[in-house]
Structure 1
């Protein structure tokens, strides 16, 4: 009887080790608020940038805009009032095309423009021709509206797969994600947004926020976020400046 249990224990241990090894080979699952990605422990092609590895207290505030015209103005007001001259806005091309005055204000203020794609869909559900069409159509519109060609892209809902990454890379784009999600898209309350950002922010961080009308508390939380980060010694930079100044933290996708 004792021999049976010893043998069974050894066999169970071998099975456990095999399962762990298999999971490591397949990757680690990570879920954000809209999708699940698989991070592979080896280089499998173009990757998304989530943050950068740096000791400098630099941080990138990023804002996605896909619809509405009531929230972007107050957010720009706060950035101006607080003297924040560096931030990155990821613009949906249909929104940019229908709101040229707001886009002009963003550009004139010197903020960086990235693409948020054309249709606000999960691009991993498209075939390769459709993915390419969505990225290039957005590129054409944003280049015309801003008079600058974007080279950063954050896909709608943060959704992508390895095909999306590969096609974006072939079109000259770097895919940008985030390491700190403010959760402002959930409208959880101003103080919850502030507390979440200030507790999670770190050197080289990319912070996700939104300037679409559905996010009603971002402009209220932003002053406290800026003051809190500034008091901790952080300097605000664009995503491009963050990438240029340090090693990027990227994760490959299956």
Structure 2
């Protein structure tokens, strides 16, 4: 008799241990909660998962860095989605984004090298002044991965290659300004710089019906005047965080490994329509996405919109 009683106690203890964690968790429990209990569960989750917005700022190294939206749980909307079943369900949480107080647009005459270091996104900057033979292959890979990039066009190239430029634009990629004749803008006057940028905008608008809002100085050569002229034309000056150095024609695998090892939140990767890029683009995208980053255009990367 005692032995049977002892076995019964052991069985009862095992059942309690098995159901204990589930009974204690509002995430899993099937028992219907009261209105107050469900509200408290949502409020507790909110306290643990709200995120403060991050203001845009000027960094001593990276210059202008965009802000990043915070988020808060919309408790009433979340409760409304859960009340029919009366149980807490994280998948039904409704978030609201909270904008920062200081924005990228608040800063004049500052170049931009990267996105916000809290945003798990990476952008491709593809500067185009020559290299047409590799563009079709690059576009095919981008399409395969459903990835959009920002192509910065040299104005004289667009003039000579309007159909190729249209193909890139029609594929949904963003278009930026890369000056007209690939000049060294550090050596140009304000008037000469303005002429280069205005001519490029004009040919892009005439050919593609797009008005660029981003400007990438050729070879990364610029000065304060360059940035100022771009601002006057309602464009921000874009540089890069990571350089493929594809123009040196490195082996594609070597280029991919070096680039991927340097990529972090907010990185902007500079490249051109070269053979190493055409050969390495597929692996580069695969590895970057595999490391948990999303890929987007400059506009998407520099926006304050959250990625969760």
TM-score normalised by L of structure 2: 0.63
Q: Which runs of 4+ in 1 moved over 6 A?
A: none
Distance in 1, matches of 2:145 and 2:279, equals 13
Q: Name 1:106's counterpart in structure 2.
A: 168
Give the corresponding residue for 2:223. Answer: 161
Alignment-derived partner of residue 33 in structure 1: none
Who is 1:23 aligned against? none
- Does the CA contact (< 8 Å) of 2:124 and 2:271 recur in 1? yes
Counterpart position of 2:132: 69
Residues 135-146 of structure 1: matches in 2 within 5 Å?
Answer: 135-146=197-208
Greater relative contact order (CA < 8 Å, ≥ 6 in sequence): 1
Task: Measure the CA separation in 2 of the matches of 1:204 and 1:81.
Answer: 23
**Counterparts of 1:101-250 in structure 2 under 5 Å?**
101-211=163-273, 215-245=274-304
- Looking at structure 2, the residues matched to 171 and 194 of structure 1 have their Cα atoms a distance apart, in angstroms, of 35
- 1:216 to partner: Cα distance: 2.0
| CA distance in 2: counterparts of 1:96 and 1:80, whole angstroms | 22
Instruction: Please tell me whether the aligned partners of residues 116 and 302 of structure 2 are also in contact (alpha carbons under 8 angstroms).
Output: no
Equivalents in 2 of 1:245, 1:45: separation in Å? 18
1:45 Cα deviation from its structure 2 partner: 5.3
Higher radius of gyration, 1 or 2: 2
**Is contact 2:108–2:231 with CA below 8 Å preserved after alignment?**
no
User: What TM-score comes out, normalization by structure 1 length?
Assistant: 0.76
Q: Which has the higher strand share?
A: 1
Q: Give me the whole-angstrom Cα distance separating, in 1, the residues matched to 2:282 and 2:126.
A: 15
Task: Give distance in 1, aligned partners of 2:228 and 2:210.
Answer: 23
After superposition, the C-alpha distances for 1:89-133 in whole angstroms (9 at most, x for unaligned) are 001111112111211111111110001110111111111111111
Residue 59, structure 1, aligned to residue 118, structure 2: no
Structure 1 unaligned runs (5+)? Answer: 1-26, 29-43, 247-254
